[in-house]
Amino acid sequence: DADVTQTPRNRITKTGKRIMLECSQTKGHDRMYWYRQDPGLGLRLIYYSFDVKDINKGEISDGYSVSRQAQAKFSLSLESAIPNQTALYFCATSDTGTSGLLYNEQFFGPGTRLTVL
């Protein structure tokens, strides 16, 4: 089974709908991230969480919210979806390690392709 899973893998929705994207991991990592990817713009950080009680905004958090339900679960919500939120969304995890530094590699999920009509 995959270490980082995302559900759903594909979603088409309408403007104004509330959407939740879910991420689960079995790697035992304490850090989790949500990114979106648009053609030509690369990966942009939406939110990240360094542990269950820690939530931080990334560079493009407007219009999004997150919930860290457990160490293994990190959900991304679009309260009222709009067409420019159409993108490929990735969840990622990383481990603090014994040193507590941030340079550990990130492990990505397979992505959720979201289309907002």
Based on the shown chain and the rule CB under 8 A, indicate whether residue 1 belongs to the binding site for another protein: no
Q: Which helix (H) or strand (E) holds 117?
A: none
- The residue within the footprint of another protein, chosen from 3, 20, 22, 45 (CB under 8 A), is 45
- Give the residue with the Cβ less far from another protein, 40 or 84: 40
Which parts of 46-105 interact with another protein (CB under 8 A)? 48, 56, 58-59, 88, 90, 92, 101-103, 105
Residues 76/61, Cβ–Cβ less than 8 Å: no
CA distance 105 to 71: 18
Residues 89/32, Cβ–Cβ less than 8 Å: no
Neighbour tally for 106: CB within 10 Å: 17
Identify the CA nearest to 112 among candidates 30, 46, 22: 22
Q: Are strands 54-57 and 31-38 parallel, antiparallel or unpaired?
A: unpaired
- The residue within the footprint of another protein, chosen from 40, 62, 84, 98 (CB under 8 A), is 40
- Give the residue with the Cβ less far from another protein, 1 or 59: 59
CB of 16 to another protein, least distance (A): 27
Which parts of 20-39 interact with another protein (CB under 8 A)? 33, 35
Binding site for another protein (CB under 8 A): 4, 33, 35, 40-43, 45, 48, 56, 58-59, 88, 90, 92, 101-103, 105-111, 113
